[in-house]
C-alpha cells in the first residue's frame, strides 16, 4: 500500500493556451479507493497518466509514499495500470499473459507460478489458464487484464475506465468483483470514470473534476447530498438535482407563483431579496394535497419505471421544469396539475451568479 500526493499538479500541452490539468491538489491515503469523476475532457485521465508516468508533469509535484517521482520513469514507480482496452498478447495463453511482466523482471520461476495460481484463483481464472484471449469473453479478458496488474503486487493500482467496453450486466458484476478485490487486497487504488454509478458504488472518496480543476472531494453520499456548486449538483444523480431560479422576499422563497416559508437557518443562509438557485433532489419532492409548504405544478412527462415513477413538471407561474421521483404506484398523467412538497431540510441553495453552494 502507498500514499499518493498531488501538489498543484499541472499539465499544459504544446500550442495550448489552457491547462489540461490545472493546479490539482489531492491526497490519496493508504488503502483508499479514490475515484476521479467528471465529463469527457475534464482532465481526469491526464491526471491518472501523470501519476503513472505516461505523461510529463508541466509543474507541481507528485509524491508516492513521500518520495517525489516527477522525474522517475514509469517502470520504476511500482504502479500497475489497467486500461480501457484489455491489451492482452493474443498469441499467449492466460497463464503467460499473467506471468509476462514478472518474467521481464526476472523473478524466480517458482514465485511466478505461485503468484499466477493465487491470482487465477482469486479472479476465477484457474479453468482458463491454458486458453488464449480469442477464446475468452469480454468479461474474462478484463479479468485477465486485472490479474496481470494484481500479480505484480504494486504499491498503487490505476484504472482508466476499465469497464466501459463491457455490456451493462457485465459492468455490474465486474464492478462488484472490483469492490470485493479492493477489500481483500486493501490496496491503494485510483479509478477514472465518467460513470457516476461506478463512482458512487465503488469509491471511498470521489474527486470531481471539471475543466482541469478539482471541484469537490468527499465521500460519495456527502458529495451527493451536499454538492459544492451547481455543476456537481447537476452532474451527480439520475435524474440530477433540480435547479430552479428563485428569490427571497420577506422570509419566503419565491418559485414562480409559489411562496415557501424558509426555516431560520435557510433564511440566514439566503439573505434578503437575493437571487438564488433553488436545488432539490427528485426524491426529496413528495406529492401532496396542497397547503402550506407545497407548490403547484403541471405534469409534462411521465416515466413509469416499475420500481418508481419519474414525473417531469412545470412549476405554476414559471417556465422552470423539474423532476420528481414518485412511488411505484403514483398515478399521474400528462397535463394533470398536482402539488409537490419539498423536504426543506434537504434543500440546497446556490448563489445565482457564481453557482457556489450557500448551505
Alpha carbons 284 and 265: distance in angstroms, whole number:
18
pLDDT digits (tens, 9 = 90+) for 201-217: 999 999 999 999 999 99
CB atoms within 10 A of CB 209: 25
% of the chain surpassing 90 pLDDT: 62
* Domain covering 4-229 in this structure, CATH number: 3.40.50.300
Strands (E), the chain: 4-11, 21-28, 33-37, 59-64, 67-68, 79-82, 156-160, 188-193, 205-210, 213-218, 242-249, 252-255, 258-261, 275-280, 285-288, 295-304, 309-315, 321-326, 337-342, 348-351
235-351 shares the fold of 4-229:
no
Band the pLDDT of 274: cuts 50, 70, 90.
Answer: confident
- Residue 210: name the closest of 230, 190, 224, 226 by CA: 230
Question: Hey, where are the domains in the chain?
Answer: 4-229, 235-351
Residue matched to cell numbers 514465485: 111
pLDDT digits (tens, 9 = 90+) for 10-32: 999 988 889 999 999 999 999 99
* 235-351 CATH fold: OB fold (Dihydrolipoamide Acetyltransferase, E2P) (2.40.50)
Torsion angle, alpha carbons of 47, 48, 52, 57, to 10? 0
Amino acid at each position: 500500500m502507498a500514499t499518493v500526493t498531488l501538489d498543484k499538479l499541472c499539465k499544459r500541452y504544446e500550442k495550448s493556451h489552457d491547462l489540461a490539468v490545472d493546479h490539482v491538489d489531492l491526497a490519496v491515503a493508504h488503502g483508499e479507493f479514490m475515484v476521479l469523476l467528471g465529463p469527457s475532457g475534464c482532465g481526469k485521465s491526464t491526471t491518472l497518466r501523470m501519476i503513472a508516468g505516461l505523461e510529463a508533469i508541466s509543474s507541481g509535484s507528485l509524491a508516492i509514499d513521500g518520495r517525489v517521482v516527477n522525474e522517475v520513469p514509469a517502470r520504476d514507480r511500482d504502479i500497475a495500470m489497467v486500461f480501457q482496452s484489455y491489451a492482452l498478447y493474443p498469441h499467449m495463453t492466460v497463464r503467460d499473459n499473467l506471468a509476462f511482466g514478472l518474467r521481464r523482471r526476472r523473478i524466480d520461476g517458482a514465485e511466478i507460478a505461485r503468484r499466477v495460481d493465487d491470482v487465477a484463483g482469486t479472479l476465477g481464472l484457474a479453468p482458463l489458464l491454458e486458453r488464449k484471449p480469442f477464446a475468452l469473453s469480454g468479461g474474462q479478458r478484463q479479468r485477465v487484464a486485472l490479474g496481470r496488474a494484481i500479480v505484480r503486487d504494486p504499491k498503487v493500482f490505476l484504472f482508466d475506465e476499465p469497464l466501459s467496453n463491457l455490456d451493462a450486466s457485465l459492468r455490474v458484476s465486474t464492478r462488484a468483483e472490483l469492490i470485493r478485490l479492493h477489500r481483500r487486497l486493501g490496496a491503494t487504488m485510483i479509478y477514472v470514470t465518467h460513470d457516476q454509478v461506478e463512482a458512487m458504488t465503488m469509491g471511498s472518496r470521489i474527486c470531481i473534476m471539471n475543466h482541469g480543476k478539482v471541484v469537490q472531494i468527499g465521500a460519495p453520499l456527502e458529495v451527493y447530498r451536499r454538492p459544492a456548486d451547481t455543476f456537481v449538483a447537476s452532474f451527480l444523480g439520475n435524474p440530477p438535482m433540480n435547479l430552479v431560479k428563485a428569490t427571497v422576499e420577506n422570509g419566503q422563497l419565491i418559485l414562480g407563483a409559489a411562496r415557501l416559508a424558509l426555516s431560520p437557518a435557510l433564511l440566514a443562509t439566503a439573505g434578503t431579496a437575493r437571487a438564488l438557485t433553488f436545488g432539490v433532489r427528485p426524491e426529496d419532492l413528495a406529492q401532496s394535497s396542497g397547503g402550506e409548504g407545497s407548490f403547484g405544478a403541471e405534469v409534462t412527462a411521465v416515466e413509469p419505471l416499475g420500481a418508481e415513477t419519474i414525473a417531469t413538471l412545470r412549476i405554476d407561474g414559471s417556465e422552470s421544469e423539474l423532476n420528481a421521483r414518485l412511488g411505484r404506484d403514483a398515478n399521474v398523467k400528462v397535463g394533470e396539475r398536482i402539488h409537490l412538497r419539498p423536504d426543506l431540510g434537504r434543500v440546497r441553495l446556490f448563489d445565482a451568479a457564481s453557482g457556489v453552494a450557500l448551505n
